[in-house]
Amino acid sequence: MRRKMDASQQRNASVIIFDDVSLSFGRRALFKNISLNLRGGQVIGITGSNGAGKSTFLKLAGKIIRPDSGEVKLPVEKKIAAVSPEMKIYDGLTAEENLFFFTELRGKTLSAKNILELGGRVGLDLKAFGNVRSENFSTGMKQRLKFAILLSVDADIWLLDEPTANLDDDGREKFFNEIQAAKFDKIILLATNDKAEEKICDEIIRLPL
**For 119-167, how does the pLDDT look when each residue is reduced to its tens digit (9 = 90+)?**
999 999 999 999 999 999 999 999 999 999 999 999 999 999 999 999 9
Q: Which domains does the chain have, with CATH numbers?
A: 41-62+79-206 (3.40.50.300)
Contact, 60 vs 157, CB < 8 A?
Answer: no
Contact, 84 vs 62, CB < 8 A?
Answer: no
| CB contact set of 208 (below 8 Å; sequence gap of 6+) | 30, 31, 48, 52, 53
Looking at residue 12, what is its pLDDT?
Answer: 52
Residue 77 has pLDDT above 90, yes or no: no
Average pLDDT in the chain = 92
Edge-first strand order for the sheet with 15-25 is 28-39, 15-25, 69-73
> Cβ-count burial of 204 within 10 angstroms (0-12 exposed, 13-18 middle, 19+ buried)?
middle
pLDDT band at 209 (very low <50, low <70, confident <90, very high): confident
Per-residue pLDDT reduced to its tens digit, 17-65: 999 999 999 889 999 999 999 999 999 999 999 999 999 999 999 999 9
CA distance 57 to 41: 19
CA distance 119 to 92: 19
Per-residue pLDDT reduced to its tens digit, 107-119: 999 999 999 999 9
% of residues, the chain, pLDDT over 70 = 94
Instruction: Please choose, from the candidates 139, 124, 122, the residue with its C-alpha nearest in 3D space to the C-alpha of residue 177.
Output: 122
Residue 11 has pLDDT above 80, yes or no: no
If you average pLDDT over residues 68-93, what whole number do you get? 94
- Give the number of other CB atoms < 10 A from CB of residue 103: 19
CA distance 106 to 90: 17
- The SS3 assignment for 202 reads coil
pLDDT band at 13 (very low <50, low <70, confident <90, very high): low
Looking at residue 72, what is its pLDDT?
Answer: 97
Instruction: Please choose, from the candidates 124, 142, 133, 137, the residue with its C-alpha nearest in 3D space to the C-alpha of residue 94.
Output: 133
Per-residue pLDDT reduced to its tens digit, 187-203: 999 999 999 999 999 99
The H-assigned helical ranges of 34-76 are 54-61
Helix (H) or strand (E) holding 180, with range, is: helix 169-182
Looking at residue 14, what is its pLDDT?
Answer: 85
Looking at residue 84, what is its pLDDT?
Answer: 95
Instruction: Please choose, from the candidates 102, 86, 89, 190, the residue with its C-alpha nearest in 3D space to the C-alpha of residue 142.
Output: 89
